[in-house]
Each structure stands twice: as structure tokens, then as C-alpha cells.
Amino acid sequence: METRKLGTLEVSSIGLGVQNMSRKYETTVPYRPEMLSVIREAFDNGVTFFDAAEAYGPHEVERILGEGIEPFRDQVVIATKFGWNIDQETGERLPGLNSRPEHIKRVVEGMLRRLKTDRIDLLYQHRVDPDVPIEDVAGAVEELMKEGKVLQWGLSEMGLNTLRRAHAALPLSAVQNEYSMLWRGPEEEVIPTCEELGIGFVPWSPLGVQFLTGWIDAQTRFAEGDFRRTETRFAPDNLPHNLALVELIKIWAERKNAAPAQIALAWLMAKKPWIVPIPGTTSKDHMLQNIGAAGVRFTTSELSELNDAIAGIEIRGKRLPDVVQAYSGVEAPLP
């Protein structure tokens, strides 16, 4: 697989998100040995970029990833995230956020143990803490870098001013925000700012929480506990309208002899050479299909045609539930 650069980190052009490997959409618990097999087969097929977070589980996904990559740790790049208020002993998720410098340092020590490693290649602040200046966060991460425990850092779902302040305090390697054909918000300001500052971009949910794979239809109803049940873009009154996007992707999938998911991922990679999607899956077959997107190419005219068609489709409904959306685009306080 071809590689791309996030800061000084060289990674596969498609990564693997492991968020659901401890509990899929809050409804089922995957079989752990199978998750280890998915991770290892991904590596065997060229994936060198794996994305986790202490909040996934909490803590359990980092343990799964650490065990999965142990045989080839030095040949891959691990990304994980801090920022939620999680008890480091019990893994209990407490209310609110916590990016106090002393907490960050405790969190990283726990990450290193769970991931069975001596360094975190890419450490993100998962969400901006409205009570902690980003300069203080950068200072804590810089100390961890000097100790060799962290190599690069990034932010997720931050406000634009916070992005600029963070980069000025300690250069960022990557921003991780939701971005897909289904949610194109970052195109307005975040991606142009990343281009200006030389920061890589890692789309989370690049397949629109499976919407862009083509298996969701107008009759789909999500199980109790599945967070997609609370997203209004998938509500019964919006879903049939939004399926126009899926129909467009299916047309292009047939045209390019590819799967719908591969079209959605290839479109992201065609946007910028420093965009690295991290589709998450608990299925080996889906993982192999996703990384096959690296072989899908668009000509300049094809990409222009596809972009025009996507722009002509209005997506109805919010991208996230209000309680989750409240944590996005937050600006850190001034020092």
C-alpha cells in the first residue's frame, strides 16, 4: 500500500480504526480473538496506521490493540487519544472532560502499559477541555515528547482558534474530525487551515457510520443502544431523502467496478495527499474491502463530476446528537 505523511510520521494511505473492537455500536461484544486476527491481517495487507483512544472501552480497545500489534510493534504507527475524565485505576468514565497537565501524564503512563509499548506515535486531545488553556496542554505533551513517551500530537473536533494556538505552541501533525461524503463540514474552514499550516487530516467515520457502505435502506431501524438511533440524519423522516447519496455512490461503484465503501474512501484520499481515512470495522472481510479502496483512482474530470453530483444532494438532519455535538468546535480558554 502507498504511504502518506502526517507530520514526520509515515503511515499507510488507509488506516484501521479499532473503536468498536470492544463493543460494537454499544449493542454487541465482538469476539476478542477475531479482533486480534483483524488487526494482524490488516498489517499483513499493508496497514501500518492504527487508531484507538482511552475512551473506547474505556481502556479495553487499547489493550486489544496492544496485544494485536505486539508481534510487529516497531513497524506500525499507533494513534490514541486523551481528554475525557476517566479514572486511571478503574477505567470508570466520570462526568466531563479532563486535560489538566498532571492528568495527561497519568493517562499516557496507562496508555503505554495497555498498548505494551514505550511510546505513543501520535497522541490526540480527543476533545478540547474548556477549562484548560491549550498552551498548558501543549506544554504537558511537549514534556512527554522530551521523555520520548510521545512522538507527535494532534487535536480532534477543536475550534479553529484553538487549532492555531495549539500549532503555535507545539506544531501539530494531525487533526482528526468527522469527514465523509455524508458530512463535509471540514471543507469550509478546517481543511483549508490544515493546508495552510501543513497539518495532516484524519477523517473519522469516513463511511458515515456505515451509511456509505450501501447496506442501510429506508426500512433500516437501529437497535436499542445503537447511537445511530439518536442521529436525526438517520431518522425515518430524513433517511429516505438522504439515500440519494447512497444511490449516487452505487452508480459510481458500478462504473469503477468497486464496492460503495471503496468509492467513499477513494474520494476522501483523492481530496488531498495528506488525508488518511481510518475506517473502523470488526469484520475481516470489510477490512479487506476497505483497504482495497487504495487501488481506486479518479481522473480529474471524474472527480469534478463526482464532486458536483455530491454538492447537489442536500443531507437532512444533524450529524451528531446534541449531547455529543456540544463537545465539537469548542475553543480552549486563554492562558
State the catalytic residues: 56
Q: What is the C-alpha separation between 23 and 61, in angstroms, rounded? A: 9
Residue 129 C-alpha cell reads as 477541555
Residue 302 C-alpha cell reads as 471524474
Strands 9-12, 3-6: pairing is antiparallel
Residue 34 CB contacts under 8 Å (≥ 6 apart), including other chains = 282, 284
At residue 314, φ and ψ (nearest 5 deg) are: -85, 130
Burial (Cβ within 10 Å: 0-12, 13-18, ≥19) of residue 93: middle
Q: What is the C-alpha separation between 246 and 23, in angstroms, rounded? A: 26
Instruction: State the DSSP code for 7.
Output: T
At residue 241, φ and ψ (nearest 5 deg) are: -65, -45
> How far apart, in Å, are the Cα atoms of 138 and each of 106, 133, 155, 193, 243?
15, 9, 10, 19, 42
Q: What is the C-alpha separation between 35 and 297, in angstroms, rounded? A: 30
